[in-house]
Structure 1
Amino acid sequence: MSGFAPWQQRVLDGALASLAEGRLGHALLFSGAAKMGKQEVAMRLSQRLLCPSPGADGLACGRCRACRLFAAGTHPDFKFTSYIPNDKGDKLRSELIVDQMRELGHWFSLTPQMGAAQVAMITPAHAMNINASNALLKTLEEPSRDRYLLLVTDRPGRLPATIRSRCQRLEFRPPGRAEAMGWLRAQGHGEATLAPALHAARGHPGLASDWLASGGLELRRQVLAELNALSQSRQSPIELAQQWLGDEHTALRLRFAAELALDAAAEQLGAGGATGLTVGADFQRLCAWFDGINRAREQLSVPALRHDLALAGLLLEWRSMSKATAIQGARR
């Protein structure tokens, strides 16, 4: 048994079947929501591609020298590419750079040291800057036998179309509610927490499990309370912006704020349940605010921006939406 969740196993089984039938592409794009286990499946497939004596189940044997080296992270024909330290060496870069892709292209030009295959993984693939993407494209345009490139991302839309079109896509789709709830129970989460967590995670059980384990749902409730306090002028936009930017949970706070605004917009259309928000802004303003807070979240990795001013402006807009609604209601 692989120990994978059902949705992971489905993707792996499909990839192994394609491999057995000679239909597996040389460039594979593992895509789907965060926390769906994409990288784990990509690693399992990588080990299989490098194993010279796979088992009857189609998986790597786990016993040969190649498998032992892979498990130890020292297989010479496997290359893992992700974030690297910046020039100062004090933190990781926020993007994958062209030098990494050039190095990868050179590595693929070398003769494998063991067996015949080479496997490289890039994660998160959407973090490549434009120069890195262009350099990778040159490698994709010259596929070689038994050379495999695995790209892992939860934002495939950020990859250039020229790269996506050259990849065989392995998509991790959210499971049905019953399967997701069953898996969450198997992880040991309390029954009363399952439905709220799955709802907050938009049906993605991996995210729901992560938030249940890390206190993410409590953080979501806190964001809800703070937005309501802002609507009622019990909270300063500037102070709240400083609070939200003050710890490692900034991106998750902004995600929750965006999703709560989207839920409020859906509630106005009669397409969702009660959100618990006291804001009563019109649909268009809620959608515009949703777009703005998402942009702020995506730009958190840009150091040159004044994130405090941008976020304070968005929170001020949230409060003004509530006041405008209150005035309109009083005039009716």
Structure 2
Amino acid sequence: MSDMLKPLPWQEELWLRVTTLVLQNRLTHALLIAGPRGVGKRHFAKALTAFIICEARSGYACGQCRSCLQFTAGHHPNFVHLQRDVDDKTGKEKRDISIEQIRLLGERLSLSSYYGQAKVAVVDPVDALNLNGSNALLKTIEEPPANSYLILISERPQALPATLRSRCQRFRMAAPPREQALAWLGDSADAVDALTQAHGAPLRARELMDSEHLQRGRKWAAELSAIADQRRDPLAAAAAIGKDDAAAFLEWLLTWLSLQLKEQVVRGGNATGIDTLIQETLLASRRLGSNANPQLVVESLLILWWRVGRVGKAA
């Protein structure tokens, strides 16, 4: 059996709860799986979908039946995976899942089922729906087609209309204990660094380990240390970071500053400067999203860091 058809180690308790509901025919028509990025929401949804439509399941989907083979190949007739469409002009994902997509989803779920199995649709992320799309989905939830399930995935469930949330069976997926996450990642220095930067989310940490993010983050941390020690000009450091990496730098900087803030609080130091920098970085991220000049945005933050000086101390 493929590991993709089994839950992740820290999901076993939730898996037992949900699959027991499936076997007892007590699983609600609409499920909302919520939690931070990188904790395995989509992995769980995939494994659960396979379990629901499997023709020979036991504790997990069997991985060998007709339904499992079609599902893992990506073309099971009873399964719909709804995501943002890609814009033909830009090649990028659209901002919203459209109401047209939701209507087509309703039509698909109303069709006859194959093999006598349930129909399953995953909406990912459900918080990408606009108001019209949410209302259309709500109608499908309130008038569900026979023998069908909706699995909704969200990192921002608070952004969903209360009427939609109230009609779903909600499952909260949190980051696992650090020791369990490190056992899954492999207890190395890179794993420790990546898990810290990922705020304890193992799948996000694995993404960081598989990319150049860790090495780049260490380089940026060295730049900040040199600026704080007055050994590096902030404008030169901003040029070294470059405008193309501005967005990635701001995302990394927020995590790095949050860690510095925690350390200062533990030591009882003055964290005012770091707190100010965090607020300015959040504002800078929004400005960057509004087409501000990336180089100037990074320069302004590094100049502020240079003025603050060493962590927690005024220059």
TM value normalised by structure 1: 0.78
Q: Which residue of 1 aligns with 2:273?
A: 282
Distance 1:31-1:242 versus aligned 2 partners, 3 A rule: farther
Distance 1:192-1:65 versus aligned 2 partners, 3 A rule: closer
Q: Which residue of 2 aligns with 1:246?
A: 244
In the alignment, the residues of structure 1 paired with residue 226 and residue 96 of structure 2 have an alpha-carbon distance, to the nearest angstrom, of 36
| CA positional deviation for 1:119 | 0.7
Distance 1:290-1:94 versus aligned 2 partners, 3 A rule: same
2:196 pairs with 1:212: no
In the alignment, the residues of structure 2 paired with residue 92 and residue 317 of structure 1 have an alpha-carbon distance, to the nearest angstrom, of 29
Q: Which residue of 1 aligns with 2:221?
A: 224
Distance 1:257-1:138 versus aligned 2 partners, 3 A rule: same
Q: Which residue of 2 aligns with 1:150?
A: 151
| CA positional deviation for 1:325 | 6.4
Distance 1:179-1:168 versus aligned 2 partners, 3 A rule: same
* Cα contact 1:32–1:171 (8 A) shared by 2: yes
Q: Secondary structure at the match of 2:61?
A: coil
Q: Which residue of 2 aligns with 1:302?
A: none
2:257 pairs with 1:261: yes
* Cα contact 2:80–2:120 (8 A) shared by 1: yes
* Counterpart among 17, 28, 31 of residue 25 in structure 1: 28
Q: Which residue of 1 aligns with 2:166?
A: 165
* Counterpart among 302, 307, 310 of residue 323 in structure 1: 307
Q: Secondary structure at the match of 1:312?
A: helix
In the alignment, the residues of structure 2 paired with residue 192 and residue 162 of structure 1 have an alpha-carbon distance, to the nearest angstrom, of 45
Amino acid at match of 1:234: D
Amino acid at match of 2:53: L
Q: Which residue of 2 aligns with 1:9?
A: 12
Q: Secondary structure at the match of 2:121?
A: strand
Q: Which residue of 1 aligns with 2:195?
A: 198
In the alignment, the residues of structure 2 paired with residue 38 and residue 31 of structure 1 have an alpha-carbon distance, to the nearest angstrom, of 7
Deviations along 1:146-168, whole A, 9 cap, x unmatched?
21011123333333333222222
In the alignment, the residues of structure 2 paired with residue 272 and residue 69 of structure 1 have an alpha-carbon distance, to the nearest angstrom, of 58
Q: After superposition, where does 1:87-236 map in structure 2 within 5 Å?
A: 87-88=88-89, 90-185=91-186, 191-228=188-225, 232=230, 234-236=233-235
Distance 1:242-1:132 versus aligned 2 partners, 3 A rule: farther
Deviations along 1:129-162, whole A, 9 cap, x unmatched?
3332232222222234421011123333333333
Amino acid at match of 1:219: R
Distance 1:195-1:284 versus aligned 2 partners, 3 A rule: closer
Q: Secondary structure at the match of 2:34?
A: strand
| CA positional deviation for 1:244 | 5.0
Q: Secondary structure at the match of 1:143?
A: coil
In the alignment, the residues of structure 1 paired with residue 130 and residue 240 of structure 2 have an alpha-carbon distance, to the nearest angstrom, of 29
Distance 1:325-1:213 versus aligned 2 partners, 3 A rule: closer
In the alignment, the residues of structure 2 paired with residue 242 and residue 120 of structure 1 have an alpha-carbon distance, to the nearest angstrom, of 46
TM value normalised by structure 2: 0.82
* Cα contact 1:48–1:54 (8 A) shared by 2: no
* Cα contact 1:281–1:322 (8 A) shared by 2: no
* Cα contact 2:30–2:151 (8 A) shared by 1: yes
Q: Which residue of 2 aligns with 1:276?
A: none
Q: Which residue of 2 aligns with 1:83?
A: 84
* Cα contact 2:190–2:214 (8 A) shared by 1: no
In the alignment, the residues of structure 1 paired with residue 147 and residue 239 of structure 2 have an alpha-carbon distance, to the nearest angstrom, of 51
Q: Secondary structure at the match of 1:25?
A: coil
Q: Which residue of 1 aligns with 2:44?
A: 41
* Cα contact 1:229–1:235 (8 A) shared by 2: no
Q: Secondary structure at the match of 1:269?
A: helix
Q: Secondary structure at the match of 1:135?
A: helix
Please, which runs of 5 or more residues in structure 2 have no aligned partner? none
* Cα contact 2:185–2:191 (8 A) shared by 1: yes
Distance 1:193-1:75 versus aligned 2 partners, 3 A rule: closer
Q: Secondary structure at the match of 1:29?
A: strand
Amino acid at match of 1:193: D
